[in-house]
Structure 1
Amino acid sequence: MSVITPELLTRFDVPGPRYTSYPTADRFVEAFSEADYIQALDQRHEATRLKGQPLSLYVHIPFCESLCYYCACNKIITKHKDRAATYLRYLAREVELQVEHLGTGHSISQLHLGGGTPTFLSDDELRELVAMLRRHFQFVPGGEYSVEVDPRTVDENRLSVLAELGFNRLSFGVQDFDPAVQKAIHRVQPAEKVFSMVHAARALGFESVNVDLIYGLPLQTPESFARTLAQVNELRPDRIALYAYAHLPERFKPQRRIHAAELPLAGAKVAMLAQSLDAFSDAGYVYIGMDHFALPDDALAVAKRQGRLHRNFQGYSTQPDCDLIALGVSAIGRMGTTYSQNAKTIEEYCDALDQGHLPIVRGMALSRDDLIRRAVIMALMCQGQLQFESINLAWLIDFKTYFASEMQMLQEMQDQGLVQLTDTGIEVSTMGWFFVRAVGMVFDRYLQQGLSRAQFSKIL
């Protein structure tokens, strides 16, 4: 990793999209309505070529028992467990409205429970949720069925229930093991608890265990974060997600409780990122791209080696690119050539369903240019390379003419050793993988037209 200099890291320490979609969600418009989404559902239902092609499901559980100060997720802080039962009834109604147009019995190859805290639900509520989904959809063997877990909310019995329900992947929110940092972000969880839950998950046969980390949090220093990195390597999860903290208190109210004076300076953040890259590389992890690492035998690392890596709203995936049905407050879905998002408040979400409407409040129908650029960005993000001929044949364009200005911008990245340009295509270098978001940004028409980047997190 020595070729990745602090100067290069600092140069690319700029805001940019994560490209879980293109165009990104900030481009969604309220002019896209429930009627537009229903049309997309009907079109899929009528398309014989899509019969048997699996769907992906995302379910947003917004509830948390306590507030984490760094959090930018859509959540509801409550101790009232009875709210979950009510919410599940609305989720069931939303699914019923979806399948009225889509039809029942569709195959599902990917399910992700996100939040909030999905494990806010009781065991019986989790059983109820999964049973409801299985009544309407067919879960295929070998799919990715994952759930986000707050280690503070589970024990071995709870994990065994998740395994019983068919979940095969867990993601534990750790962020940092340092007690002082945990106190500063209002998320105190002893390392011993996390170690115990990861060991239990392995004993129960979960295929993959992910740990989330954040650098740039209050009171973090390169020295303290080095200790966390050593503990994570000792824990040896199958996957690691390493995110940069984006302090945006004007947008995310909980972050106002974080004292800006306690945040590490830019130089310290770069140092923490550099030492993380070294630590995980030395421990044998494969860099998947964009914040993600995996052990060489993990399905994600295997998919990258075999060129089968995909990307959707949940991040990198081994499952083929497919339509995504999103359920719950604020959830974002994809159907055909459209994106859509549900109401962001539970009041608005429930009100729409009470009136017999899907809670769609915004979205967009992708233009031909959007689709071409999505194909380019996702090829670079997932495969790390692109052949001009494949895009030319798929979209009936001349790549070098269509993207003449973008090719000029890539010349500078080639000079920096991030990409290699040939007569036949573009290849992201080994070093360039760590800056792949910046490579993708070259092809983002909305960014290049001057859309503000301030709303995005830093790309490193």
Structure 2
Amino acid sequence: MDASLPFNAELLRRYDRPGPRYTSYPTAPQFSAAFGEDQLREAVDASNGDPIPRRLSLYVHVPFCVSPCFYCGCNRIITRDKSRAESYLARLYREIDLVASMFDRDREVVQLHLGGGTPNFMAPGQLGELVDTLRRQFHFARPEESDISIELDPRFVSPADIAELGRIGFNRASFGVQDFDPLVQEAVNRIQSVEETRAVVEACRASGFRSVNVDLIYGLPKQNPAGFARTIETVLEMRPDRLAVYGYAHMPELFRAQNQIDAADLPGAEEKLGLLELAITRLSAAGYEYIGMDHFALPDDDLAMAQARGSLHRNFMGYTTHADSDLIGLGVSAISHVGDTFSQNPRDLPGWQIAIDEGRLPVFRGMRLSADDILRADLIQRLMCQAEVPVDALERRHDIVFAEYFAAEIERLRPLQEDGLVRLEPGRIVVTARGRLLLRNIAMCFDHYLPAPDATPADSTRPRFSRAI
């Protein structure tokens, strides 16, 4: 794959419109209440019966945050009442017991991720108890073969806490930074010092963590090139293994906390593109490779190596190296992907609590994929992870004639081909270096659930910022 990442502001401006991040296909809006507990049990039984059952990945959602970050669009609950963690854990353990009992014990867990919210809302002792409970209920692979990761807020975790997390078994961490500029931090209600951030990053390395990820956001209120450049340089001095650089989308009608942001303080469209170009230029010069969808990694990081091998995968946790696994989501709003099904827990805490208290699997919507969904999911997965569509391989796996099956989609690609974003070659469709920042637009051409015009260039629409869940 071409490692270069040219920046073309005119192209980005013309193709700048919202669309799915394709952490799944079909995407969550297509899920239906017709899919419930019985359907999930059937899917698990079928997956257990596979000749070679897939390994397991676990995602646990912790919804609590101590204070609101005004930019955030995550599913979270703002509270300073730490006792809420205990009641949440009590129900979470009951859900774990319900779910784990459905899966054969010989199915190895190769990945565990705690997301939120703020997982370190819970004390290290509580997190240790949670991991121990999961280890008792599921069969985990050996530590050297497992990824045990957690999202952490540097403002509420200490180096001593990091050391304890390392003893528990966590070996990957992700930290939100967003921006170190004091004016930006004040505007988004997230005051976070360089010193406390550096201290926990260094603590991860001292505790044997395999990788550290740092999140940045461009397009925040009061952001400017000089301040964002200082933030990037400061982060690069910490040398995280991975970086995510998201674009902020101001949608106060959907996310109430964003009403605290003065729209007049937001960078204009051209300024925002300049901030993105600045990030790409600095990260590329520092040796980071573009993985896709806002993510960068050092060449020796597992993500970059998996992409080079062709084994990179994308799911609700973002990019991952564990392609051949069923995903089990636990906790409020979490999403599972078992076999050819998706299922989601209630997005509201009371709905999830009621299901657990009644002894039910907390499934409130989902879907079983059709043969067409499975084909398109396979195609979009390869596109998002490897920046190409393997036409010959898809024809063999799905018994289709690609040019006939996707005749309309190929026509939708023509304008993108003319703009130099893709090349239609014998046996494959290749995303060019010029098109790699527009993977989402290319994938949208193959999305059966979107009207065709959604994939074509537009004059002005804000890119979206969202987390994996």
Which category describes the TM-score, using the shorter chain as reference length? over 0.9
Q: Spell out the pairing of 1:283-322 with structure 2 (5 A cutoff).
A: 283-322=286-325
Counterpart for residue 448 of structure 2: 445
Q: In 1, distance between residues paired with 2:278 and 2:214? A: 17
**Superposition deviation, residue 451 in structure 1:** 7.8
Is the 2:72–2:258 Cα contact (8 Å) retained in structure 1?
A: yes
User: Cα deviation per residue 1:198-231 (whole Å; 9 max; x = unaligned)?
Assistant: 1111121111000001111111122221221121
Secondary structure at the residue paired with 1:126?
A: helix
**1:44 — aligned with what?**
47
What is the distance in 2 between the residues matched to 1:448 and 1:416? Answer: 21
Structure 2 counterpart of 1:66, which letter? S
Q: Which residue of 1 aligns with 2:128?
A: 127
Whether the aligned pair in 1 keeps the contact of 2:65 and 2:121 (CA below 8 Å) is yes
In the alignment, the residues of structure 1 paired with residue 48 and residue 206 of structure 2 have an alpha-carbon distance, to the nearest angstrom, of 41
Matches within 5 A, 1:244-283: 244-283=247-286
Residue 85 (structure 1) aligns with: 86
1:61-96 superposed Cα distances (whole Å, 9 cap, x missing partner): 011111111111111111111111111111111111
Alignment-mate amino acid for residue 269 of structure 1:
K
Q: Is the CA contact 2:313–2:322 (under 8 Å) kept in the aligned structure 1?
A: yes
Shift of 1:45: 2.6
Q: Is this contact kept in 2: 1:17–1:456, CA < 8 A?
A: no
* 1:71 paired residue number: 72
Compute the displacement of 1:167 (Å). 1.0
Q: Deviations over 1:325-365 (max 9, x none)?
A: 10000011111111111011111111111111111111111
Aligned letter for 1:406?
E
Correspondence 1:160 to 2:160: no
CA distance in 2, matches of 1:313, 1:330: 12
User: Structure 1 40/451 Cα, relative in aligned 2: closer, same or farther at 3 Å?
Assistant: farther
Alignment-mate amino acid for residue 285 of structure 1: Y
Contact 1:212 1:242 in 2 (8 A): yes
**SS of equivalent to 2:287:** coil
Task: Tell me: CA distance 1:190–1:332, structure 2 relative to 1, closer, same or farther (3 Å).
Answer: same
Structure 1, gaps ≥5 residues long: none
Q: Distance in 2 between matches of 1:197 and 1:114?
A: 18
Q: CA deviation at 1:56?
A: 0.5
Percent identity over paired residues: 49
Which amino acid is the alignment partner of residue 139 of structure 1? Answer: F
Q: Does 1:138 align with 2:142?
A: no
Matched to 2:328, the amino acid is I
Equivalent residue in structure 1 for 2:154, among 144, 151, 158: 151
- 2:60 is aligned to 59
Matches of 1:287 and 1:49, distance apart in 2 = 33
The answer to whether structure 1 residue 457 and structure 2 residue 464 are counterparts is yes
1:323 aligns with 2:323: no
Q: Indicate how the Cα distance of structure 1 residues 417 and 403 shifts in structure 2: closer, same or farther if over 3 A, else same.
A: same
What does 1:167-178 correspond to in 2, within 5 Å? 167-178=170-181
Which residue of structure 2 lines up, in the alignment, with residue 354 of structure 1?
Answer: 357
CA displacement at 1:444 relative to structure 2: 0.7
SS of corresponding position for 2:450: helix
Q: Distance in 2 between matches of 1:263 and 1:321?
A: 42
What aligned pairs does 1:377-416 form with structure 2 within 5 A after superposition? 377-416=380-419
Q: Is the 8 A contact 1:311 1:321 kept in 2?
A: no
Q: 1:227 to 1:152 in 2, by over 3 A?
A: same
Whether 2:198 is the aligned partner of 1:191: answer no
Aligned CA RMSD, in angstroms, stands at 1.9
SS at match of 1:360: coil
The 1-side partners of 2:256 and 2:36 are apart by 28
Q: Which runs of 5+ in 2 are unaligned?
A: none
Q: Distance in 2 between matches of 1:321 and 1:217?
A: 37
Identify the residue that residue 31 of structure 2 maps to in structure 1.
28
CA offsets 1:298-327 (integer angstroms, 9 cap, x no match): 111111112121111111111123211100
State whether residues 248 and 463 of structure 2, in contact with CA within 8 Å, keep that contact through their aligned partners in structure 1: no
Gap change, CA 1:211 and 1:2, over 3 Å in 2: closer
Q: Post-superposition shift, 1:105? A: 4.8
Offset at residue 49 of structure 1 (A): 2.8
In structure 2, do the counterparts of structure 1 residues 36 and 245 end up closer, same or farther at CA, with 3 Å as the change threshold? same
CA contact (8 A) 2:249 2:462 kept: no
The SS at the match of 2:169 is coil
Q: How many Å separate the matches in 1 of 2:275 and 2:462?
A: 23
Distance (whole Å) between structure 1 residues aligned to residue 233 and residue 52 of structure 2: 50
Q: Any conservation in 2 of the 1:69–1:185 contact (CA below 8 Å)?
A: yes
Q: What is the CA distance between 1:117 and its match in structure 2?
A: 0.5
Runs of 4+ in structure 1 deviating by more than 3 angstroms, as ranges, are 449-456
Partner amino acid, structure 1, of 2:82:
K
Residue in structure 2 matching 1:240, options 231, 243, 262: 243
2:213 equivalent among 202, 210, 213: 210
- Higher mean alpha-carbon deviation, 1-10 vs 122-131, is at 1-10
Q: Which amino acid aligns with 1:187?
A: R
Deviation at 1:145, TM superposition (A): 1.3
Amino acid across the alignment from 2:182: P
* Comparing 307-316 and 447-456, the one that deviates more: 447-456
Give the secondary structure class of the aligned counterpart of 1:267.
helix
How many pairs are equivalent?
A: 457
Tell me the secondary structure at the aligned position of residue 421 of structure 1.
Answer: strand
